[in-house]
Structure 1
């Protein structure tokens, strides 16, 4: 029978305070954006001395990193759940579920969408520990394309230039999957278009040009579907 080390009161208190700090930081994201995120303001919000908060997060950048890890993880959980709710053989259905889940999350938390996929925060460079949770988000699309490719070669939608194989070598290296050039182009086109459509909607660039955003997004998903003919 496995044994578990008891959590100390100090460990519990540290976890609870860390959660309180990141919750306050997420409220700031919604109100003032990531560039203005302030450890001192969070301390005031929690009724603490700023020095106490700095013991947990010595700088704004470390706090931003923690937020990225948390938010990427939550988004990945949503996308994976949406994908797993659809029959594995329904590739188009999985793509639509992925896209709709992403849009629902973005509309619910546009400030967090902006942190992950909007303009870079001035002076901040995301460290290596954000790569794994961010990779889980793209991993849903990678798994979908891998399943699409196992059904046979994807037909070329347009003729690719000779240098395409070298251009997309990085995708094969990073994923460890021998994706065809066609699969790589389809995946990147779909992913780019998905975030382009969301950003145009969220940041108000479709105003007066589209009367029904949900219907428009569904049409975009149909057009961008990387699994179809």
Structure 2
């Protein structure tokens, strides 16, 4: 079913967005597992039947929130990348700009960040329609890596990953094909960069580094610079990109 909240012919086009806004507020208090349709209806001053008319099941509402979270976080990265490109930035500066943008979004929207990157909601399995919004983040990273490869900004790895590749064909297709050696493993390395980024954000959003790092923002930049070395990209620390 369509859980976007924008059904054709919806009598009250503002209702889906109002329901989702209330649900996002309750995410902070109740967490995704406690986000029932009854709670959303009560929180928004609505009848449960009104909520069910748009989102028949709790999972439909969760899916709509997941899609929104992926889209808004991906859009934040895309805007940051476009601004960096417009300023003539190098690929390393672009990478720092987009990862900083995702970090800002994550701290500004911790409940939504937790929904898509935190503990799974018991019994909920994200449907296929969440895949495309979720792909926006790795696609931004992949576009930067591809640009760096084409412009000669990447340093070849000291050790190439052995054949055969363990990639799915879809990953290769999204990147635009497997480059020739010495960068034939760059897609796998890009996935490592992506996973490092999300893991770093999980550590920072959930305060896993508060007792070992005195400057979380500076450490984030340094960690991105270290992670970028895995794809052969130099991230200039202290870059003025904001």
Q: Same fold (TM over 0.5)?
A: yes
Partner of 1:228: 233
| Cα RMSD, aligned residues only | 2.1
CA deviation after TM superposition for structure 1 residue 222, in Å:
1.4
CA deviation after TM superposition for structure 1 residue 93, in Å:
0.7
Q: Deviations over 1:88-112 (max 9, x none)?
A: 5510010000111011111111111
Q: Where has structure 1 moved over 2 Å in runs of 4 or more?
A: 10-14, 151-158, 160-163, 168-171, 173-182
Whether the 8 Å CA contact 1:149–1:183 is kept in 2: the answer is no
Structure 1: unaligned runs, 5 residues or longer: 1-9
Partner of 1:196: 199
Partner of 1:44: 42
The 1-side partners of 2:165 and 2:71 are apart by 32
CA deviation after TM superposition for structure 1 residue 132, in Å:
1.3
* More helix as a share of residues: 1
The residue correspondences of 1:117-132 to structure 2 (distance < 5 A) are 117-132=117-132
Structure 2: unaligned runs, 5 residues or longer: 1-7, 235-242
The farther-off stretch of 195-204 and 16-25 is 195-204
The 1-side partners of 2:162 and 2:68 are apart by 41
The 1-side partners of 2:192 and 2:104 are apart by 21
The 1-side partners of 2:106 and 2:44 are apart by 27
Whether the 8 Å CA contact 2:69–2:113 is kept in 1: the answer is no
The 2-side partners of 1:169 and 1:135 are apart by 14
Matched, 1:103 2:106: no
Scaled by the length of structure 2, the TM-score of the pair is 0.83
CA deviation after TM superposition for structure 1 residue 186, in Å:
2.8
Whether the 8 Å CA contact 1:193–1:224 is kept in 2: the answer is yes
The residue correspondences of 1:33-182 to structure 2 (distance < 5 A) are 33-87=31-85, 90-152=90-152, 154-163=154-163, 165-170=164-169, 171-179=171-179, 180-182=183-185
Matched, 1:28 2:15: no
Scaled by the length of structure 1, the TM-score of the pair is 0.87
Partner of 1:7: none
What is the aligned residue count?
219
